[in-house]
Amino acid sequence: MAKGPILGAVLAGGRSRRFGSDKAMALLNGRTLLDHAMAALAPHVATVVICGRDGGLADRPRADLGPLGGLNAALHHAAAQGFAGVLTTGCDMPVYPAELPAALIGPGAAVLEGQQLLGWWPAGLAPELDAHLAEENDRSIRGWLARVDARVVQIPGLVLPNINRPEDLAAL
């Protein structure tokens, strides 16, 4: 496990193009998806922050960098505040499996197979992500995963919701 407290970060700065409206504010059982994501992550971390939205951590170094802007903000916050690293989730992930932190947390970055926003990021990666975002590249999460040689974790039998469109939410 990590040596030190763990920061939880909900990446919530997306444009929700496929959803058609602000996905983070969509309701599921009377609560926003953002509220569900924060509540699901909270038992596994010392503190939860929201990235990429008003009232949360601003994407770093600027907006419109996709999930990496939010991750970069969380990594820098974690490093400055003495957190060992960051567990991330997306604002559209209303569950966070109990077995996930133990599977992800290790010496380097790791993500859940098929869910690249469900990840573990040691705080020491902040300068590397700064460098990555300053270079000419597509700034995709996949490119970042390759750069840091992130482990891809599999949990057999785990099925998570994938909320990209209103009908995906309605199916829940």
Number of domains in the chain: 1
Q: Say if residue 98 carries a ligand binding annotation.
A: no
- Residue 58, domain member (yes or no): yes
Residue 74 lies in a domain: yes
- What would the mean pLDDT of 89-93 be, rounded to a whole number? 92
Determine if residue 3 is labeled as part of a ligand binding site: no
CATH of the domain at 92: 3.90.550.10
Is 13 within any annotated ligand binding site? Answer: yes
12 annotated ligand binder: yes
Is 11 one of the annotated binding-site residues? yes
Handedness of CA 121, 126, 131, 136 (dihedral sign): positive
pLDDT at 166: 75
Residue 1 lies in a domain: no
pLDDT exceeds cutoff 80 at 15:
no
The verdict on residue 100 lying in a domain is yes
Average pLDDT over residues 59-85: 95
Q: CA 7 to CA 40: how far, in whole Å?
A: 14
pLDDT in the model for residue 56 = 92
The SS3 call for residue 24 is: helix
Q: Is 138 known to sit in a ligand binding site?
A: no
161 versus 84: which is more confidently predicted? 84
Cβ neighbors of 8 (< 8 A, separation 6 or more) are: 38, 41, 42, 44, 45, 46, 47, 48, 49, 86, 87, 88, 89
Look up the domain containing 125 and give its range: 6-171
Give 18-62 pLDDT, tens digit per residue. Answer: 666 678 888 889 999 999 999 999 999 999 999 998 889 999 999
- Cβ atoms of 96 and 119 closer than 8 Å: no
Return the structure tokens found at 19: 């959803």
Residue 152 in domain:
yes
On whether residue 156 sits in a domain, the answer given is: yes
Which residues make beta-bridge pairs with 7?
47, 86
pLDDT on residue 165: 76
